[in-house]
Amino acid sequence: MFMGKIFSKRLNEIRISTGFLLISIILALSILPGCAEPGSATTPSTTPATQEPAVTYPLTIKDGTRDSKGVTVGREMTFTSAPQRIVSLAPSNTEIVYALGLGDKLVGNTTYCDYPEAAKSIAKVGGYSTVEVEKIVALKPDLILAANIHAAKVVPQLISLNLPVFVVDPRSLQDVLDSITLVGRVTNVQAKAADVVKTMNDRINAVKAKTAILPDAQRVRTLMLIWHDPPMTVGPNTFMFELIQLAGGTSVSKGMADGFPTMGLESIISADPQVVITTGMGGAENLTLQYIKNEPRLKDIPARKDGRVYEVNQDWTNRMGPRVVDGLEAMAKLIHPELFK
């Protein structure tokens, strides 16, 4: 049924963003007081970033390739000059490219790359797991930004064709910042990358200043659901789990398996969540949100009784790019509205 191809594609997106997984959500949120407007992650900071020297080429640098245990080992590459023709194989990478002001150098991306608006008109080279190598070759790129989902098949194929594929695989908020810095260095826009990272850090720290000091008793029991049939949540060592903690919540999935474990109805009831946050998976109607709001056996959980069942823009929390800060701010406001009035 519905959980067929659409879910598989969505789940693939989740798997990319989080390291072993990824997603994109929808949230009708207003601006966070004290925080920047959603979507403004790339807005330059009012404080000048540290001046970064120009890159000297040839530049030999390691990418974000991980081993089978998920440890970053890096694959060394040498660039003789700043790339001028970039192909992105992941929406998060596409958003990084635009955030760095390199949109005019992007010659190819995937069918999932829909932000910013200009990304939609770029030549498509397939989806995440359905990359069409012949289309990439035809674009004659001098930099291909891949994700770890491509490591087993696509990356070796591109390497065998002597194509410059560079893996970017962030799995935490800090990884996202480091990836932006890394891509900025490869493309010789280090000052811009430093500015983007500083702006993001300023916004992250603004949230943490209000939530990091919360005692355990004031941390809100939060359930994040990415699917409803069966209910699937976010386990430890996922990016979304990290967002819940930073936003001042305590994930009720703490202690569960890593990744995206399923959670039975009785377990949800037993967890007694004060807030439930759903992603936009399941189509525009967000079937997961409807499930939580309407499942009669969940009528007594605090989140239902207090009207605290929400939806967040999945692109803000699943794409490991500059807009992750929007996701953090949105979740912080949902979990602790009293702190962000």
Tens of pLDDT along 121-147? 999 999 977 999 999 999 999 999 999
Contact at 8 Å (CB) between 17 and 319?
A: yes
Q: Which are the contacts of 248, defined by CB distance < 8 A and separation ≥ 6?
A: 210, 211, 214, 218, 219, 220, 332, 335, 336, 339
Q: What is the DSSP string of 107-138?
A: EEB-TT---SGGGGGSPB---SS---HHHHHH
Task: Determine the average pLDDT of the residues in 163-176.
Answer: 96
Read off the tokens for 50: 């540290």
Q: Is pLDDT at 15 greater than 60 in this prediction?
A: no
What per-residue confidence (pLDDT) applies to 37?
40
Mean pLDDT, all residues of the chain:
86
Percent of all residues in the chain with a pLDDT value above 90, rounded to a whole number: 76
Check pLDDT > 50 for residue 43.
Answer: no
Residue 29 or 213, more confident: 213
Please work out, in degrees rounded to the nearest 5, the angle formed at the alpha carbon of residue 255 by the alpha carbons of 254 and 261.
80
Instruction: Fill in the amino acid letter for 42.
Output: T
CA distance 338 to 341: 6
pLDDT of 263 strictly over 60:
yes
Which band of pLDDT confidence, cut at 50, 70 and 90, is reported for residue 281? low
The strand pair at 165-167 and 143-146 is best described as parallel
Which amino acid, 9? K
Q: What is the pLDDT of residue 75?
A: 95
Contact call for residues 234 and 21 (beta carbons, < 8 A):
no
Q: By the 8 A CB rule, do 233 and 226 touch?
A: yes
Question: In sequence order, which residues have a C-beta less than 8 Å from that of residue 252 and are 6 or more positions away?
Answer: 221, 222, 223, 233, 268, 271, 272, 273
| Residue 41 reports pLDDT greater than 80 | no
Reported confidence tier of residue 70, pLDDT bands at 50, 70, 90:
confident
| pLDDT tens readout for residues 83-116 | 999 999 999 999 999 999 999 999 999 999 999 9
Which distant-in-sequence residues (6+ apart) come within 8 Å of 148 by Cβ?
Answer: 16, 19, 64, 65, 66, 167, 169
Strand partners, 293: none
Task: Find the radius of gyration of the CA atoms of the chain.
Answer: 20
Residue 50 confidence (pLDDT): 56
Provide the percentage of residues in the chain whose pLDDT is more than 70: 84
Q: CB of 226 within 8 A of CB of 260?
A: yes
